[in-house]
Structure formats: structure tokens, C-alpha cells
């Protein structure tokens, strides 16, 4: 029983110590900052994926 109480107190203390850190929010963004801009690498990845899919579909229709 004493072991259970110790484990419970330890778990509750851990939750109260860690939760505020996990739930904390960062500072607000700059005023007028729209959204997250798409970066060139991500754009190229999307274009490559669409091209690959279209090429694969075209080859599948030929067979």
C-alpha cells in the first residue's frame, strides 16, 4: 500500500511538472504575418510527386 501511494504521488508530481511545459505556447507571430510560406524544396517535391503519379497512370493505361 505504501508503494502504491509513493507511485501515485510521484506520477502526480511528474504530471504537474511536465504538463505546463508541454502545453505552453510560443510567442505570437509578427503582425500581418499571413501563413507559412511554401518553401522551394516542398514545391519541387509536390511537383515531382504529381509528375510521377501522372507518368505511372499513363504507362498503366498503355499496357
Q: Secondary structure of the chain: what % helix, strand, coil (to 5)?
A: 70, 0, 30
The structure's pTM equals 0.39
Give mean pLDDT, residues 51-59.
Answer: 90
pLDDT band at 37 (very low <50, low <70, confident <90, very high): low
Bigger pLDDT: 41 vs 34: 41
Q: Which residues of 22-59 are buried (b: 16+ CB within 10 A; e: fewer)?
A: eeeeeeeeeeeeeeeeeeeeeeeeeeeeeeeeeeeeee
User: What's the pLDDT at 33?
Assistant: 62
Give the three-class secondary structure for 59.
helix
pLDDT at 35 over 70: no
The Cα angle at residue 47 between residues 43 and 50, in degrees rounded to 5: 140
User: What's the pLDDT at 52?
Assistant: 93
Amino acid at each position: 500500500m505504501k508503494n502504491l501511494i509513493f507511485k501515485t504521488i510521484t506520477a502526480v508530481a511528474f504530471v504537474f511538472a511536465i504538463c505546463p511545459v508541454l502545453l505552453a505556447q510560443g510567442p505570437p507571430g509578427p503582425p500581418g504575418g499571413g501563413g507559412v510560406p511554401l518553401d522551394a524544396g516542398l514545391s519541387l517535391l509536390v511537383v515531382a510527386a504529381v509528375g510521377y503519379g501522372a507518368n505511372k497512370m499513363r504507362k498503366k493505361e498503355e499496357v
